[in-house]
Every structure is written in structure tokens, then in C-alpha cells.
Amino acid sequence: MKNIWYVVNIALVTLAFPGGYSSLSPEKLLNKNPDAIFCGVTLLLTPLFSIGSVGYSIRRWNHSRLARPTLSRNPFNWWHDPLQSLFISTCIAISTAIGSALRHPSLGSVGFWMVAFYSCVALGLLIGQILVYRIYRENIIAA
């Protein structure tokens, strides 16, 4: 079963790259209106989501130990393996942000703000992951 999760995790991160690129096509940007406030709120809330999801998992399911993330586990198990899900989500967000940035949108355009939004999600999840590792370091064990 471990080999299946390697393939699934790598496929998720890999498919996010062209997904980010295609999400900035002109027809997909119709009726979108991201701006600086939206990006700022996203950047502030995603670390809180990271901390909250791990904290909820520890309290709700009485987890005293959290396994470090690897590519060989299920990435969809937020409540019982939050570090794994957070790690894969962060990798997907980074891959999406890089893929969307390859479209080279013009400064100030809707495409530019979508790239900024994807980057804020990726940065927010990365900051959240770092904070989670600092806050819950005594609960983290080797996988």
C-alpha cells in the first residue's frame, strides 16, 4: 500500500503544476476579482488554519503523538494524520503557485492577482507548517 501513496502524493503535486498554469488562461479568469486585500486576508488566515487543524486533531482524537510526513502515507486523512495532509497541501500550493507564475501575467492584471493569491496560500501554509512544528514539537515522532 505504501507504493500507491508514493504515486498518489507525487501525482497530486505534479498535477498541481499544470493546473496552476491553466488556471491563468483568459477564459478561466473571467468573473474573477482578486485584489490586495483578498491576498492579505488569505496570507493571515492560512497559518491559522494550519495551527487550528493540527490542534483540533490533537484535542478531538486524543493524539499524543504526530508522525512526521512522508510520501508513503495517505494525504487525505486530516483528522488522524494532520502533518501529512498539511505537508502535501503545502507542496500542492507551491506547485500551483509556480505553475501559475509561468504564465507571466502583466503587473496589476487579474492574472497577476491570481498568482499573488496562489503565492499567499503557499506562503501561508508554509508559515503555518513552520509554526505547527514549533508549537507541537514535543508531539512529533519519526514516521
> Which among 140, 103, 138 is positioned nearest to 118, based on CA atoms?
103
| Residue 111 CA to its chain's centroid (Å) | 20
Cβ neighbours around 102 below 10 Å, total: 12
The model's pLDDT over 68-126, given as tens digits with 9 standing for 90+, comes to: 999 999 999 998 999 999 999 999 999 999 999 999 888 778 999 999 999 999 999 99
How far is the C-alpha of 101 from the C-alpha of 94, rounded, in Å? 11
**What are the b/e assignments for 15-30, b being 16+ CB within 10 Å?**
ebbeebbebbeeeebe
Q: What is the pTM of this model?
A: 0.93
The model's pLDDT over 10-65, given as tens digits with 9 standing for 90+, comes to: 999 999 999 999 999 888 888 888 999 999 999 999 999 999 999 999 999 887 88
Grid coordinates belonging to 75: 494525504
